[in-house]
Amino acid sequence: MAAEVNRRDFLNTLGVSVGAALTSAGAALPVVGVAHAQDKPKGNIPDTPFKIGHMTFFTGPAAVLGEPMFKGQQLAAEEINAAGGLLGKRKIELLKADENAGTDANVKELRRLKLSEKIDFFCGITSSGNTPALGPVAEELKLLTIFVDGCTDFLFDKAVPNPHYIFRITNMQSADGVTGAVAAAMTWPKTKKIAHIHPDYSYGRNAFDHFGIVMKKMLPSAENVSEGWPKLGTTDFSSHITKAISSKPDLLAISVWGGDYVAFYKQALRYGMFDKMKVASMIAFGVAPHAIGKDHPEGIIAGVHSNYHFTYPGGDRWPYNKTFVEKYHKRFNEYPNFQAEGGYTATYMLKNAIEKANRLAGGWPDDDAIISMLEGNMMAAPAGYVYIRPDNHQGYKDAVTGFSKNVADYPFPILDPERIITIPIRNITAPPGWPKGEPTSTYTWIDKTWPRAKA
Amino acid sequence: MCIAALVMAHAWAGHEIPFYPSFYPQEIKIDVMEPAAAARLLRTKAIHAYVGADPFAGGAAPEHVVYVESLKSYVVLTFTPQLGSLSNVGARCAAGARILKVLGRSQGIYTFHPYPVTPYHDDYLSHFDLVEAAKKKIASAPAGWPELKVWPNGKLAETLVPPEWRGTRQESDATLEEIDTRDLEAPPPVGGRLPALGAGVRTAFLTEAGTVVESEVAGSLPLLSGRLTSLRQVPWSECKRVTAGYTVRREALNVEYSEGVENVAYDALTGLNSAIFIRDVKLKDFPWNGWLRLGTEAKPTSAWNPVAGFTDATGRLIWSAVGDPPMLPAPYGGDPAPNRVRATVESEIRIPPDALVLDPATRVFKPAGRRGDIARSKVAYEVLASKFHDDTKMTVADVLYPFVFAYRWGGLPGDHRQGQDPVVARSTASLRESLLAVKVASVDSRIRDYGDVQLLYEVPRINVYLRSGAGPGAVPTWAPWSTTPWQLTVLMEEAVTRGLAAFSEAEARRGNVPWLDLVRDQKLKSRLASLLDGFERQPYVPDSLRGLVTVEQARQRWAALKRFYRKHGHFLVTNGPYRLDKWSANSVTLGVFRDLSYPIALGSFDRYAIPRRAYVTKTERRGDRLEIEAEVETVTKFARSYKIEREPYKGEPAGQTRAEGVGLVAHYAVIGEPHRLMRVGASSAVEGRRLIVDPRGELPPGEYRVALALVLDGNFVQPEVKVVPYRVAD
């Protein structure tokens, strides 16, 4: 049985901070961008184009995620090409494919891209329905791959438990629920009654599970008083809203996403729901900055996805984000979402690994040399430090959430710059060597190792 | 079963499920209002669009209002035929040319265009030389208005006819008037337009209705392959009616950052009053979902029935959301876009013994047997089934019943017995003339896999054997498809058989019975409910569906229809993307049918939003080929807006797979002298940055002109036509 601790000590243990600057990573790290002169590469470098197959959603509802993902990679490629290309010689050529074609077609397209188009590198993917299907194929094709999203824990827990060629730069899905719960427990520690509304498929279950296991540890006296599970395709949330309101909760935990979330909050406003309880969303701001209206209520915990919102780290606090946001906005006339940051960072992560491998052996490095450089790589990206764990090829960056706020500078709400909540990712995810668990490794790790806060 | 199965064994769906059935808005409210009221509501951003006249005509629209433009009307001059001085064709044509010359100088919303095929039509290129010739002819006509009185019928005509030449309807030699293309294009919902015509020729023919007979059109069909460019040969009405020009419809859209809409597609001929508008429009404040508010100008006066109702403008808009056609008209020209069926064509096929032949007299399907008849073509259809709004699952019986219906109410060709409906007869004529047999080849299962969310669909595969020939253009305008369940069709038939109502307005007038309205005729609904009780008690299975529907299935169908009526208060059950939820005299609310069995997802027709154009910048002849350099428009989307830029065509991006109908295509028409259309064709061949066209074919030696137009992503509208000389040496 885990020990009981004081809640403040508990938060200190997790390293949760509000409005904090990023912690230092110590030694000089690779960074995004090519502002400074690069070292001269060793050996002979071919000048053939470096072909990247980028598959994401260019049509359909998920294009709101996919288009920025491609733009992020496009921006990085343009910067790298303007500086001469990878290792100063190989210009990046992007080949697009629409993920909306369906999983079977996507698998075929991946094979075609590798076998017919001879791509050197595969990137992209938004849907968690696709990464577990494409991951094994990329391994079979020996195709170096960085998935930008497709965040399901299932990918590295089950589908490709021992990856060699594939990596993923987003955080895992479980981080959404854990982060939302830690933020809610820290902000509203007197919460006793919790209502839940989650989509009735595995993301909602995942959010519910991980929010719940954290609450069990941090607010053990709190109880769930209502559960709503809107089916996929629900447009009328009134029954879920009234059910939650009638249970008189202190807190609503919600993981409804995208257009469903927008329909939800606009209906909830009519019921005065946000005046009747606190609200912690796992993913309210997890689409694109412009996807949320100004009428969105202020002061709720508005979760992001993959731990990035373009306003954090803000101002001059973290130049790589400031520069990235400025360049992205100048190039595409919009603000980047987490996918744009992911596409951008993935490209620079690859560039950095190629350069490291070249410095070691000279010439154009083979894939295994690049892979060995990606494993354990840490770089300063717009979102902060991103670390690729060598054991599972998963990218990690510190968790971020915050409180919704309208400011004059933007036509959409942002995270309140004064109240950003960050949590070191290592403190909320299962560590290397932790056995695979159900429903996820992170869940069993929290359940078995976290202490319980005193009620 | 057409339903999503949620399997939790592999919990690996992401937060995003990239498939949402039906289309963006979760609700569509349509209110009838005058343009002035629409202007007020657009100013306050209380509505998103106005389907009708420009509410700000003559004034300034707010900054957040933009317009979409489509072909609104023809302006035609029709001579009074019985007048002696104009009985001569030459006299009529000469007078018409002089009047058009005067009209051609008019400014404003009228565009001078003395030819019935316009730049809004997909067959414009094939008529381009004749358009130019007609303009030259008018330009060379003697100046001055002839000694004729013209009756200006309508406001626009009044602005065009000089006061001194205006006459009354009775005393005039000719009438100048507008003919709205929406009236021409109003198809009965069961389908059935003039088949396989280019859009321009079709509307031209309809414009000339009464002055050109259908046989003249049909008779010219075989002259050329491809589209009906041979309509050039038709002696257009011998100047009984002269096309003077056209007007453009401007419909207002609210595109404000938060309260506006985006991703708008529209039809070049019907504007926002189109199925494609409903299927693409997206509210800016919502990635999907949201409450769409539309204004319309026309009161919904026609009856609401899916057979021959919904004929007025508002009715058509409602039906475009509630009903679901097998194919959608391509909004900017070209072949129809697949919607609920996919078709492939084969030629010269022996009809298999187990195919079903419908006995036109008894209207019962029977096996074709071993007669070994040969069909000119077989069209293999995949039918994307789904649930109906009454929660029943679409089956093969629903797909086949329209054939029975067509013969019951359309009759045999040339058969004009009582008990038929002339509108149904007209709209099903093509089907009845070409159908030989049908065969249910299989009912397949399809899965869409989104991790733990797996959507399972049934896809009936229906082969249709036809008398008519095969080829890409041979897919008929009808298909084995029904947007209503068979039990509703049977219920309507029973009501009509009993003389309670008629399907069409014409038949209702003839029989002095109500026009069948499934929603607003309370008396009829009560009678339908009684009939429904009787059918449920039996339970009734039509003879033609025996073997396809069991008694238990029929009982369930009748019970489901009854439940639907009790819950919703009307009988308008379809399998379309929106369901009628509320209605009053001047307002309708449609709720989205987000049922997971609905197979078409929001975003499916996004490619039609923001139509792009392309331009020929240089042509060079090399051997028999013409090599074309071009500029294309590109769209950059950002946040809630986009910009269009023109840039040199760089060829097709490497490694990209392309959906059908997407990309750059060079269309050409080879014209000999004098105005002889020798060849038409299209090419998407690309070498480097150049499109390659080979117009040579079997052309005999001589001097020709090649008219070139570029079509980008299926956009045929207002092409910039480039004409280049082309010589074929001896």
Reported as a single tens digit per residue, the pLDDT across A402-426 is 999 999 999 999 999 999 999 999 9
Last-in-domain residue among A374, A392, A410: A392
Last-in-domain residue among B447, B481, B515: B481
**Coil, strand or helix: which one is B296?**
strand
Torsion of CA A7, A8, A9, A15, to 10 degrees: 110
Determine the pLDDT at residue B660.
Answer: 67
Q: Is residue B646 part of a domain?
A: yes
Residues B469 and B388 in one domain: yes
**pLDDT band for position A129 (cuts 50, 70, 90):** confident
Residues B230 and B362 in one domain: no
Last-in-domain residue among B433, B463, B481: B481
| Nearest CA-CA distance, residue A154 and chain B, Å | 5
Residues B14 and B97 in one domain: no
Q: Is A161 on the interface with B (CB under 8 A)?
A: no
- Residue of chain B minimizing CA distance to A261: B286
- Interchain pair B289, A259: CB under 8 A: yes
Q: Is A127 on the interface with B (CB under 8 A)?
A: yes
**CATH number of the domain where residue B713 is located:** 2.60.40
Last-in-domain residue among A392, A414, A433: A392
Stated pTM of the model: 0.92
Integer CA distances (angstroms), B710 to B122, B490, B629, B722, in order: 12, 48, 11, 9
Percent residues over pLDDT 70 in chain B: 87
Is the torsion defined by CA of B568, B570, B571, B575 positive or negative? negative
Last-in-domain residue among A392, A410, A442: A392
Q: Is residue B654 part of a domain?
A: yes
Q: In terms of pLDDT, which residue wins out, B422 or A250? A: A250
What does the pLDDT average to over A298-320? Answer: 92
Determine the pLDDT at residue B529.
Answer: 98
**pLDDT band for position B241 (cuts 50, 70, 90):** confident
Total domains in the fold of chain A: 2
What is this model's ipTM?
0.90
What does the pLDDT average to over B375-401? Answer: 96
| Nearest CA-CA distance, residue A222 and chain B, Å | 26
Residues A232 and A180 in one domain: yes
Q: Is residue A286 part of a domain?
A: yes
Q: Is residue B257 part of a domain?
A: no
Per-window interface: B 576-615 vs A, CB < 8 A? 591-592, 594-596, 601-604, 606-607
Residues A369 and A290 in one domain: no
Last-in-domain residue among B247, B266, B293: B247
Rounded distance between C-alpha atoms, residue B47 and residue B512, angstroms: 39
Residues A65 and A160 in one domain: yes
Residues A434 and A414 in one domain: yes
What does the pLDDT average to over B322-340? Answer: 93
**CATH number of the domain where residue A208 is located:** 3.40.50.2300
Q: Are B145 and B233 in contact (CB under 8 A)?
A: no
Determine the pLDDT at residue B175.
Answer: 94
Q: Is the pLDDT of residue A355 over 90?
A: yes
Q: Is residue B118 part of a domain?
A: yes
The DSSP line for B472-484 is GGGS-S--S--SS
Determine the pLDDT at residue B583.
Answer: 98
Q: What residues form DSSP beta bridges with B725? A: B705
Q: Is residue B265 part of a domain?
A: no
Q: Are B145 and B77 in contact (CB under 8 A)?
A: no
Residues A405 and A274 in one domain: yes
- Interchain pair A233, B596: CB under 8 A: yes
**pLDDT band for position B412 (cuts 50, 70, 90):** low
Please tell me what DSSP assigns to residue A23: P
What does the pLDDT average to over B619-644? Answer: 94
Q: Which residues of chain B have a CB within 8 Å of the CB of A126?
A: 14, 16, 18
Residues A178 and A298 in one domain: yes
Q: Is B15 on the interface with A (CB under 8 A)?
A: yes
Q: In terms of pLDDT, which residue wins out, A34 or A446? A: A446
Q: What residues form DSSP beta bridges with B65? A: B254
Q: Is residue B26 part of a domain?
A: no
What does the pLDDT average to over A337-364? Answer: 96
Residues A226 and A103 in one domain: no
Compute how many other C-beta atoms are within 10 angstroms of the C-beta atom of residue A326: 10
Q: Is residue A37 part of a domain?
A: no
Q: In terms of pLDDT, which residue wins out, B413 or A305? A: A305
User: What digits encode the pLDDT tens for the residues A40-94?
Assistant: 899 999 999 999 999 999 888 888 899 999 999 999 999 999 999 999 999 999 9
**pLDDT band for position A436 (cuts 50, 70, 90):** confident
Residues A252 and A294 in one domain: yes
Residues B216 and B106 in one domain: yes
Which range marks the domain in which residue A407 is found? Answer: 4-18+174-305+399-453
- Interchain pair A333, B639: CB under 8 A: yes
- Interchain pair B14, A64: CB under 8 A: no
Q: Is residue A234 part of a domain?
A: yes
Q: Are A286 and A257 in contact (CB under 8 A)?
A: yes
Name which of A64, A102, A202 is nearest B448 (Cβ-Cβ): A102
- Interchain pair A117, B655: CB under 8 A: yes
Q: Is residue B714 part of a domain?
A: yes
Q: Is residue B544 part of a domain?
A: no
Tokens coding B62: 């707010």
Rounded distance between C-alpha atoms, residue A350 and residue A344, angstroms: 10
Tokens coding B696: 């040579």
Residues B12 and B79 in one domain: no
Rounded distance between C-alpha atoms, residue B564 and residue B330, angstroms: 33
Q: Is residue A310 part of a domain?
A: no
Q: Which residues of chain A have a CB within 8 Å of the CB of B581?
A: none
Residues A184 and A257 in one domain: yes
Rounded distance between C-alpha atoms, residue B709 and residue A207, angstroms: 54
- Interchain pair B18, A99: CB under 8 A: yes
Determine the pLDDT at residue B609.
Answer: 94
Q: Is residue A32 part of a domain?
A: no
- Interchain pair A128, B16: CB under 8 A: yes
- Listed in sequence order, the DSSP H helices in B569-661 are none
**pLDDT band for position B209 (cuts 50, 70, 90):** low
Rounded distance between C-alpha atoms, residue B341 and residue A64, angstroms: 28
Q: Is residue A28 part of a domain?
A: no
Q: What is the per-residue burial (b if ≥16 Cβ within 10 Å, else e) of B692-721? A: bbebeeebeeeebbbbbbbbbbbbbbbbeb
What does the pLDDT average to over B459-473? Answer: 81
Q: What is the 3-state secondary structure (H, E, C) of B431-452?
A: HHHHEEEEEEEEEEEEEEEECC
Total domains in the fold of chain B: 3
Q: Is residue A202 part of a domain?
A: yes
Q: Is B453 on the interface with A (CB under 8 A)?
A: yes
Residues A404 and A385 in one domain: no
Determine the pLDDT at residue B224.
Answer: 31
**What is the residue whose two structure tokens read 């369901």?**
B579
- Interchain pair A95, B607: CB under 8 A: no
- Listed in sequence order, the DSSP H helices in A336-389 are 338-361, 367-374
Maximum CA pair distance of chain B? 86
Name which of B17, B26, B258 is nearest A235 (Cβ-Cβ): B26
Residues B96 and B228 in one domain: yes
Residues A334 and A260 in one domain: no
Q: Which residues of chain A have a CB within 8 Å of the CB of B11?
A: 154, 202, 205-206, 439
- Interchain pair B14, A203: CB under 8 A: yes
Of A191-200, A433-442, B600-609, which one has max mean pLDDT? A191-200
**pLDDT band for position B373 (cuts 50, 70, 90):** confident
Which range marks the domain in which residue B219 is found? Answer: 71-247
Determine the pLDDT at residue B225.
Answer: 31
- Interchain pair B16, A333: CB under 8 A: no
Residues B107 and B196 in one domain: yes
- Interchain pair A154, B12: CB under 8 A: yes
Determine the pLDDT at residue B222.
Answer: 31
- Average per-residue pLDDT in chain A? 92
Determine the pLDDT at residue B186.
Answer: 43
Q: Which residues of chain A have a CB within 8 Å of the CB of B601?
A: 60-61
- Average per-residue pLDDT in chain B? 87
Determine the pLDDT at residue B10.
Answer: 45
Q: Is the pLDDT of residue A3 over 80?
A: no
Determine the pLDDT at residue A365.
Answer: 97
Residues A164 and A208 in one domain: no
A154: alpha, beta or left? (left if phi > 0; alpha if psi -120 to 50): alpha
Residues B696 and B624 in one domain: yes
Q: In terms of pLDDT, which residue wins out, A164 or B188? A: A164
What does the pLDDT average to over A307-314? Answer: 92
Q: Is residue A384 part of a domain?
A: yes
Residues B145 and B228 in one domain: yes
Residues B121 and B6 in one domain: no
- Interchain pair A63, B603: CB under 8 A: yes
